[in-house]
Chains A and B, each alone.
Chain A
Amino acid sequence: MKEDESEPLAVTGKVNEEAISTGDVEALSATDENIDVHTQDTKNIFQPIEDQQKYGLEEDAAEQYEVQLSSKDEQEYDLTDDQKEKYVEQQVESSGDSSSSKVTQPLSTNTTQSKEDDHSVSVWSALLQSNRFYACVNLICSIITLCSAFTYVDNGSGQSEISLIQGFQI
């Protein structure tokens, strides 16, 4: 799969960006034989440069880091079929889009926390559309109202507790 030239290649990093601008495909493969190119994924292309500026990496470290980023895609192809399937499932689920696969989808730059928050929001919005949720709310409200109304019925001289039978008579 790695050696299949028809597969899209993932370019990540400054070196590969130069190779793209010169159109030198061989240079791309020379950088790392396992690198793939998503030529339309401009976000992935420029991400390492931003990171380099952000973290103040040295030139050599930055180049090494670019290779590391590409290894994420690379590792995907080292998996067995079952592992890959599970991996893709996890990626698709975390992105919330079941119609697209990992291969064509750029890696999310969201934090893990924001993913969990997004998931919570989607769960809550689904809950608010559910009849079952409102039925449960209704039951809770009924019980609280019943309990509190029983203990606060006026017997003519202020607040006083009443018996069950008296309560139903009111």
Chain B
Amino acid sequence: MTCPAINVLLSCMAIIFYFTISSRRSFRVRFSECFLMLSMVGCWAAGVTIITATYHRVAYDPEDHLVNGNAFYFSWAGFVSSAIMLLMYVRDCTGKVDYNQGENQPLATTLSLWLALALTSIVVAVSSSTCDYYGCQPRFRLSQWFSYSHAIYGKAVGSISFILSLLMITRIITNLLRRIPRMFDYFVAFSLTVIWIVAVSLISLKSAPSMQLGNLYYSVWLSLLISMAILLRIVNIAALLSQSFIYRFGSLISSIIVMISVLKTRDSLGLHFYDWLYYKSVQNANDDFVYYLLSALIISTIVVSLSGILVFFFIIPPIRRFIEKRAKAEGVLIVFLSCCWAADLITITDAIGGVAMDSDGNIVNGNMYYFSWAGFFCTIALFLTYNRAQSNSRSGTLRIWSSLVLSSSVVMTTSIINLRLCQQYCEMYGILFNCSSKWQMNYYQIGPDNLPETYCMRTFYGIILGAASIFLSLKIIILHLFLSQKLILIEAICLYPLTLAWIVGVFFITSRSGPGRKPGNLYYFTWLSLLFALIRTFSVTAGLFRKIRQGVNWETTIVDIQPDVTDPKPTTIGVEAALTSTEPSALVSQGDDLKKSQTLVAVEIHSSRDTELGPSNATKYESYLQKFIQFRNKDA
């Protein structure tokens, strides 16, 4: 408890420091900054050690389930942000290693990756322990090798990876190891990738479905991803891989991992295919779980096949050329794959009965849960890439709003599903479900100390918030797509209350009494929705300030849209009035203001003509421009 409290004070001091101190030249200022940074990193390290360690029970329940996502994830986020601040301070002080920008960009990124790998490696080494809730094994015996092989291998791999990472960091930032040939880099990167693949197989995949979420699980996977990124960067083939191939390959790998996890879960239950055919009851599993599991198995098989076909189409040049001529067929295949992934998500990540979840709503099979979402996102990204290639249009604004629609949909849907737990709303489901038996109140999901009324009220808030967010997001998207407006004011009017509602929603949903207190769909997508809303809020606010600084005429900015050629009506002021007026001579009296706005809008017409408007609107604008030129020539 003490560490987060001290960190609040230190963070406040850091904010005051960076917002008031403009120059760091004096020794006293530099020393104060150094002391502040080191204190923050040290305090966060202590906080992370206490909060995220299993046996301290701050973020875990007695069965080692991660139930306090906010404490776990945000303590790590705080530690990483303070570490970045410390590294930026070191960079500013030394001036030798510019790891963020400038000519050393490739070297800087590689150094950042090695630092990250050193961190994750040490976490793996520390987390791979023979200790459990009941205590530590006092003495290691060879007979215990198979029981603790993953822990021993984790410690060994983590230590080796940490030492090699330090070696490479030393090689990059000093001249001590410059004489070692560059082949050494290839060897180290390749070796680390191989041993981390084995570590993931042994620790994460082999232990499934008993692998709990926590430091070990996340750090093993992160280590593998980072070592692969380093290898790709050193071999320098990352640039050769197209986005389309990465998404196809990602979907295939994810589907294979999900498939393996589903099979291991099935094996752990001793379940066979004919059990599903006869809907046979299985020991240690209820009928719903068996139904979900075998549905997931069938859908995963289809997903693996489709993903494999998409990769196969891409890597064989003659087939690829053949498919490129029939892009619509491939598009249909991608859409079908997306639907299969969505069905897989329902069977796997449903908080009540999903294969990756337990009966209390905890994620008990991280591989199945995260890689089903990863595969779904890869397929969506592949579809967007395909669609972009067809329509040749893209917009960061639309991407953010579309992402908000998706995340809000998940929040709303999950909240509707969770509402089944609420007795007073259960009657609403009475037509569809047997309220009294199947969906009876689960106090472990709601929380032993929580009031069901509070839980249900917050669940209901999630439904309302998700629906409102979807409505507003779709409204903005439609305005962007069909009206070609500069929507910044309209967007701001919609966005600020929405962001505020998501902040309240995060507090209601992910706090201790909320329905999304445990990591799961509701938890992750509530935070994601807030993140998307904040990103857009920041961009809109920056845009508003920019326009205020430029002195843009708001009326023309908002109203100068969609001129009607057949029925020109004088709008507010400026060029739009000049362009739409049937009596141009009446506008001469506007003088210089008119000329200035004429220039501005003429430029805007030119710049927005190509892709944003589309041919029909562009023709309208051009006709207005012609009218303006004719008037102008007459005037001259």
Q: Are A87 and B600 in contact (CB under 8 A)?
A: yes
B64 lies within 8 A of chain A by Cβ: no
Q: Who on chain B is nearest to A32 by CB?
A: B633
**B residues less than 8 Å from A152 (CB atoms):** 58-59, 67-68, 71, 512
User: Complex formed: what's the CA distance from A136 to B61 in Å?
Assistant: 31
Chain A interface residue count, Cβ-Cβ cutoff 8 angstroms: 70
Which of A61, A114, A148, A154 is within 8 Å of B74, CB to CB? A148
A107 lies within 8 A of chain B by Cβ: yes
Q: Which of A65, A68, A149, A160 has the most CB of B within 10 A?
A: A149
Q: Are A139 and B15 in contact (CB under 8 A)?
A: yes
User: Complex formed: what's the CA distance from A70 to B596 in Å?
Assistant: 17
Which of A90, A116, A138, A151 is within 8 Å of B40, CB to CB? A138
Q: Are B70 and A145 in contact (CB under 8 A)?
A: yes
Q: Are A138 and B511 in contact (CB under 8 A)?
A: no
Within 8 A of B (CB), among A103-134: 107-117, 119-121, 123-124, 129, 131-132, 134
User: Complex formed: what's the CA distance from A93 to B549 in Å?
Assistant: 12
User: Complex formed: what's the CA distance from A57 to B555 in Å?
Assistant: 31
User: Complex formed: what's the CA distance from A54 to B609 in Å?
Assistant: 11
Stretch at the interface among B75-83, B180-188, B364-372: B75-83
**Least Cβ distance of B208 to chain A in Å?**
26
Q: Are A135 and B57 in contact (CB under 8 A)?
A: no
Q: Are A131 and B18 in contact (CB under 8 A)?
A: yes
Q: Who on chain B is nearest to A170 by CB?
A: B1
Stretch at the interface among A3-11, A23-31, A72-80: A72-80
Answer whether A55 and B615 are a contact pair too, CB < 8 Å, given A134-B81, A135-B14, A145-B71: yes
**Least Cβ distance of B368 to chain A in Å?**
25
Stretch at the interface among B2-10, B150-158, B217-225, B292-300: B2-10
Q: Are B603 and A168 in contact (CB under 8 A)?
A: no
Q: Are B51 and A143 in contact (CB under 8 A)?
A: no
Which of A86, A90, A111, A136 is within 8 Å of B610, CB to CB? A111
Q: Are B592 and A83 in contact (CB under 8 A)?
A: yes
**A residues less than 8 Å from B321 (CB atoms):** none
Q: Which of A51, A78, A148, A168 has the most CB of B within 10 A?
A: A148
**A residues less than 8 Å from B19 (CB atoms):** 132
User: Complex formed: what's the CA distance from A129 to B603 in Å?
Assistant: 33
Which of A93, A108, A111, A131 is within 8 Å of B612, CB to CB? A111
**Least Cβ distance of B446 to chain A in Å?**
12
**B residues less than 8 Å from A149 (CB atoms):** 1, 4, 51, 58, 68, 71, 75
Q: Are A87 and B626 in contact (CB under 8 A)?
A: no
User: Complex formed: what's the CA distance from A148 to B608 in Å?
Assistant: 48
A1 lies within 8 A of chain B by Cβ: no
User: Complex formed: what's the CA distance from A152 to B603 in Å?
Assistant: 58
Q: Who on chain A is nearest to B16 by CB?
A: A135
User: Complex formed: what's the CA distance from A138 to B17 in Å?
Assistant: 14
User: Complex formed: what's the CA distance from A151 to B84 in Å?
Assistant: 29
User: Complex formed: what's the CA distance from A27 to B598 in Å?
Assistant: 28
Q: Are B397 and A132 in contact (CB under 8 A)?
A: no
Answer whether A138 and B14 are a contact pair too, CB < 8 Å, given A110-B607, A111-B612: yes
Answer whether A115 and B607 are a contact pair too, CB < 8 Å, given A71-B602, A152-B512, A159-B67: yes
B619 lies within 8 A of chain A by Cβ: yes
Q: Who on chain A is nearest to B398 by CB?
A: A113
Which of A65, A107, A142 is within 8 Å of B603, CB to CB? A107
A141 lies within 8 A of chain B by Cβ: yes
Which of A54, A115, A142 is within 8 Å of B8, CB to CB? A142
Interface residue range, chain B: 35 or more
Q: Are B84 and A148 in contact (CB under 8 A)?
A: no
Q: Which of B4, B447, B448, B595 has the most CB of A within 10 A?
A: B4
Q: Are A141 and B512 in contact (CB under 8 A)?
A: no
Within 8 A of B (CB), among A41-71: 51, 54-55, 61, 64-65, 67-69, 71
Q: Are B447 and A159 in contact (CB under 8 A)?
A: yes
Q: Who on chain B is nearest to A71 by CB?
A: B629
A18 lies within 8 A of chain B by Cβ: no
**A residues less than 8 Å from B17 (CB atoms):** 135
**A residues less than 8 Å from B210 (CB atoms):** none
Answer whether A132 and B611 are a contact pair too, CB < 8 Å, given A139-B8, A158-B61: no
**Least Cβ distance of B392 to chain A in Å?**
12
Answer whether A154 and B606 are a contact pair too, CB < 8 Å, given A75-B595, A112-B486, A148-B74: no
Within 8 A of A (CB), among B593-626: 595-596, 598-600, 602-604, 606-612, 615, 618-619, 622, 625-626
Q: Which of B11, B14, B449, B480 has the most CB of A within 10 A?
A: B11
Q: Who on chain B is nearest to A72 by CB?
A: B602
Answer whether A119 and B606 are a contact pair too, CB < 8 Å, given A137-B81, A146-B8: no
**A residues less than 8 Å from B608 (CB atoms):** 111-112
**Least Cβ distance of B1 to chain A in Å?**
4
B12 lies within 8 A of chain A by Cβ: yes
B556 lies within 8 A of chain A by Cβ: no
Q: Are A68 and B75 in contact (CB under 8 A)?
A: no
A64-B626, A154-B57 given. 20 additional CB < 8 A pairs? A55-B618, A71-B602, A72-B599, A72-B606, A78-B599, A83-B599, A87-B596, A108-B607, A110-B607, A112-B486, A112-B612, A116-B543, A120-B543, A129-B100, A129-B101, A132-B18, A139-B15, A142-B10, A146-B7, A154-B62
Q: Which residues of A contact B (CB under 8 A)?
A: 51, 54-55, 61, 64-65, 67-69, 71-72, 75-76, 78-80, 83, 86-87, 90-91, 93, 107-117, 119-121, 123-124, 129, 131-132, 134-154, 158-161, 167-170
A-B contact pairs, 27 of them (CB 8 A): A68-B625, A72-B603, A75-B595, A78-B595, A80-B592, A83-B596, A87-B599, A91-B603, A93-B550, A108-B607, A111-B607, A112-B486, A112-B608, A113-B395, A116-B397, A120-B543, A129-B101, A131-B85, A132-B18, A134-B82, A134-B88, A138-B81, A138-B82, A139-B15, A142-B8, A149-B1, A159-B449
For the complex of A and B, 4 pairs with smallest distance between CB atoms:
A141-B78, A139-B11, A154-B57, A148-B70
